[in-house]
Chain A
Amino acid sequence: MQTKIKRKNIWDLMFVAPACVLFFVFIILPFLQGIPYSFRDWDGFSPQINWVNFKNYINIFKDRMIYSSSWHTLQFTFVEVVFSNVFGLLFALGVKRKSKTNNILRTLLFMPFVISMVLASFIWSYVYSDVIAPIFNTRSILGNTTWVMTGLGFISVWRDAGYCMVIYIAALNAIPSSFYEAASIEGATRRRQFKSITIPMIVPAITANVSLLLSWGLKVFDYPFSITGGGPGTASTTINLYIYNNIFGFYHAGYGQALAIIFTIVIFLITTVVAKTLRSKETEL
């Protein structure tokens, strides 16, 4: 018996090993290797190494681009998280009933999620300039320094609302219909039912969607990189784009690496706090 258990444990280890090795070598190891880089004044390729202690980290707080790119990233994240979820939930409410039409509608509403962010960006740059701008008799939103992040945000809403919808449909259909029947017998209005039954019952789905989209939003890179290049000026330079530019564009690899490490910590804190807060709501209700 003893040897049998031992043998099972060895098999267990052999089964988790491949995934762990891959994850360690290609994610954790480079992350750890990056830490010493962040204490150097280094261009990223020359053999000369200048150790500068915490100078890169101190410079982050003096860099005005950090403040503007953080603001751009937050603007994008706000639009992405709020509107993808609102539209996702509305779509879900609209097509949650089982029917042939609704099946087709679901398939089509999810379709934007399948195409790449690069293509979505290119197509939308023309939707903005050739379709939406003429309606309001203005120029494309992507050329406007104040609104460019909102414009990029809505491209991601277009792609991700369908994803949120799918999760909301599953959550909505899992609510027992007896809940609604009981509520209407007691004379609760539709709105009241939505507030007291639907929303509390789908909080786990809201948690899942908000946490996921939050991390996508904070890490935004493809959209501004592919169509606005961070512009006009630096109006759509996000944190991730700024890090990329520092490392591969401006040859400030040490500084970029320090920034990336701080950014990792910030994302970790934000997503943990938000997920914890939402999760505590789940048990409250």
Chain B
Amino acid sequence: MKVDSKHSTKIISIIMIIVTLIVCAPFYVSFVYSVKTNQDITFTRLAWPKIMHWANYTKAIEMSNFFKALYNTIITTVPTVIIVTLFSIMAAYVIARNNTKGYNRLYLFLVGAIVIPFQAIMLPLYINLKNWGMLNTVEGFVLVKSGSLIAITILLVTGFVKTVPYELEEAATIDGATYPYVFFNIVVPLLKPIVLTSLIINAVYTWNDFQIALVILQKDYARTLPLTQFFFFSEHSIQLNLAFAAFNLSMIPLLVIYLIFQKYIVEGITSGAVKG
């Protein structure tokens, strides 16, 4: 019996390694195409390149205005994740700690409003931002993206706050600590895992945003990475190697962040989904 189960775990492992290789195969295609010349792509297709043409990357950086797009992405992503995370933990704390009619209704309202598709608000939003002079600006994108992420983040965090013990806060309040002091010095440290999750997962969502950027960052000086990729690809689809080099460049920063912090992503989405 024991030998048998050992055997079967080994077989499962081998199957899963093969499955994982298949799942990761598109990354291989993307890499191989990015370091070949276009002739190589036509003739040798997916074979491992004999000579690495790293020059594709420098060319792609130049042609796709990569650093400008990277800069735009970073200056929009950083404030967005900070705003979303800070406002969400504050609101989620109040909602989780007050089992009153008002706050329960607010919670249900937020849950319901998550279904609103961006398509239903994009035109009024476009007109408002235009009137407020926020079209094609960092502030405009940051505020809209924050608004679109805040409800779902509140749901994620509320589930977590409910699992955090109440006694410490109570003791501190009795000792005369002020409300903000209790929140920032006692509650927030206990929320550290979910704060990290919120920062990372919202960073992924913001970094990859396409739909909102498409509507409110139309001018090329304001374009973020996904938008730049989109336009670069439509203009240079013949120069496949450069297109793929540009894809990989925009993937790398996010993949690095993911590999460093993956623990928090995994823990966070499960705590929200299973408990909440």
A15 to B125, alpha carbons, bound, how many Å? 26
Interchain CB contact (< 8 A) of B121 among A30, A240, A248: A30
> How many B residues have CB within 8 A of the partner chain?
86
Residues B124 and A33 in contact, CB atoms below 8 Å apart: yes
Residues A22 and B274 in contact, CB atoms below 8 Å apart: no
Interchain CB contact (< 8 A) of B26 among A108, A124, A253, A271: A124
A12 to B106, alpha carbons, bound, how many Å? 13
Indicate whether A65 reaches chain B with its CB closer than 8 angstroms.
no
Using CB atoms, name the residue of chain A closest to B205.
A116
A27 to B143, alpha carbons, bound, how many Å? 10
Interchain CB contact (< 8 A) of B273 among A8, A30, A208: A208
A222 to B23, alpha carbons, bound, how many Å? 21
Residues A209 and B94 in contact, CB atoms below 8 Å apart: no
Contacts of B247 in A (CB 8 A): 119, 122-123
Interchain CB contact (< 8 A) of A226 among B119, B146, B210: B210
Contacts of A247 in B (CB 8 A): 119, 122-123
Q: Given the interface contacts A116-B208, A122-B243, does A253 sit within 8 Å of B117 by beta carbon?
A: no
Indicate whether A58 reaches chain B with its CB closer than 8 angstroms.
no
Contacts of B90 in A (CB 8 A): 15-16, 18-19
Q: Given the interface contacts A22-B147, A30-B128, A167-B273, does A264 sit within 8 Å of B115 by beta carbon?
A: yes
Residues of B in contact with A (beta carbons under 8 Å apart): 9, 12-13, 15-17, 19-20, 23-27, 29-30, 33, 45-46, 83, 86-88, 90-91, 93-95, 98, 103, 106, 110, 112-125, 127-128, 143-144, 146-148, 150-151, 154, 179-180, 183, 204, 207-208, 210-211, 215, 225-226, 229-230, 233, 240, 243-244, 247, 250-251, 254-255, 258-259, 262, 265-266, 269-270, 273-274
Q: List 7 A-B contacts (CB under 8 A).
A: A16-B94, A117-B210, A118-B208, A166-B265, A167-B270, A256-B119, A271-B115
